[in-house]
Structure 1
Amino acid sequence: KPEKTSIRHTLKSIKQDGKIVDPGFDFLGFNIRSYPVGKHHSGNTGGKHPRIIGFKTIIKPSKKKILAHHEAIKEVIKANKKAPQAALIARLNPIIRGWCNYYRTVASKETFSSEAHILWNMLRAWTVSRKKKKTTLNKALRKYFSNGKHGLWTFQTKDCVLYHHAETEIRRHQLVKPEASPYDGNWTYWSIHTRCIYWDTK
């Protein structure tokens, strides 16, 4: 459909319909964009005689989906203002894990770190909203945060711990060799690539 189709350049800004369009594009919640880099970080054309292309294409979570994730977490925290800490953790963990698992195969390390910090501030506000008038902020925080797997400020109870975005391990997809075939009998090679196959078309 024309309304769902547009031309984008991953490296440069272009003019389209009288407007300047920024480089890169969003697709299925990911932002795909190329960045100019030096020869030591540049991508190449591949093949027997690879040529340095002077840029590197990076895939990240899109800003739209990051903001949507913020809203989802905010709604859960808001809905559980008076709920026990364990109940809040139980509702947040599946949301955080699911979102992180979706983006764990791309350049998400900085995003995960940033999200962990934003979530900490949200939970700090949640703690403040429950604080009694005569209770100091530090004492209120210590009621819900303690030393654990994420350091001194781990949001946890005796039986459950909040999952951190930043603890998600980045796992890159391995490209399938262009000469490989699922019918070549190399079961050892294909056992690694059966879950998700990406063909290298260079």
Structure 2
Amino acid sequence: MAVYAYPSKKALLSVMTKVRSITRREKHRTLADLLRTLNPVLRGWCNYFYHGVSSNTFNYLDHFSWWRVVRWLRKRHLGLNWGTLHRRYLPAWEITDGKVEMFRPQKVSIIRYRYRGSKIPTPWTSKFGSTAVSLA
């Protein structure tokens, strides 16, 4: 028997809304500030859902958040062309600003919850079998 637990669409939309609000242009002065605010949100959400069937959802969230930060960079540095922006902030396609690197949800390893069903020990099962006590 297998149990599949997916992150709900509501949960995904809530984290995407948080990413949208964090990556608004007027909120942060530097890329490091943005990443320090964004990383705990992504890391916490992924740590909550990594027991389920979440690989595709994590890939989607990674793609969404990566492009939100890239758009933030493009709007932040209007005079820079793509080559300069890529060389400065996206070495090896990882968003980084010195020591702070963007957390990537797609790199989170999925550890599936093991369904144990009837193998879970309970305190109500008797070790000695079924012994009915009569109070008559």
Identify whether the pair has TM-score above 0.5, normalized to the shorter chain. Answer: yes
State the identity as a percent. Answer: 24
Q: 3-state SS of the aligned residue for 2:121?
A: coil
- Greater helix fraction, Structure 1 or Structure 2: 2
Q: Answer yes or no: is 1:139 the counterpart of 2:79.
A: no
**Matched residue count:** 123
Amino acid at match of 2:10: K
- Greater strand fraction, Structure 1 or Structure 2: 1
When residues 158 and 176 of structure 1 are mapped into structure 2, their CA distance, relative to the original with a 3 A threshold, is same
Q: CA RMSD in A?
A: 2.1
How many angstroms apart in 1 are the aligned matches of 2:49 and 2:89? 29
- 1:35-184 maps to which residues of 2 (within 5 A)? 43=1, 58-78=4-24, 81-133=27-79, 135-146=80-91, 152-176=92-116, 178-181=118-121
TM-score for both structures, normalised by structure 1:
0.55
- For structure 2, the 5+ residue unaligned runs are 124-136
Instruction: Give the CA deviation at 1:117.
Output: 1.0
Q: Is the 8 A contact 1:131 1:137 kept in 2?
A: no
Amino acid at match of 1:169: S
Deviations 1:117-170 (A, max 9, x none): 11121111101101233x212212332211xxxxx1101122111110111111
- For structure 1, the 5+ residue unaligned runs are 1-42, 44-55, 147-151, 184-202
- Give every structure 1 segment of 4 or more consecutive aligned residues whose post-TM-superposition deviation is greater than 4 Å: 79-82
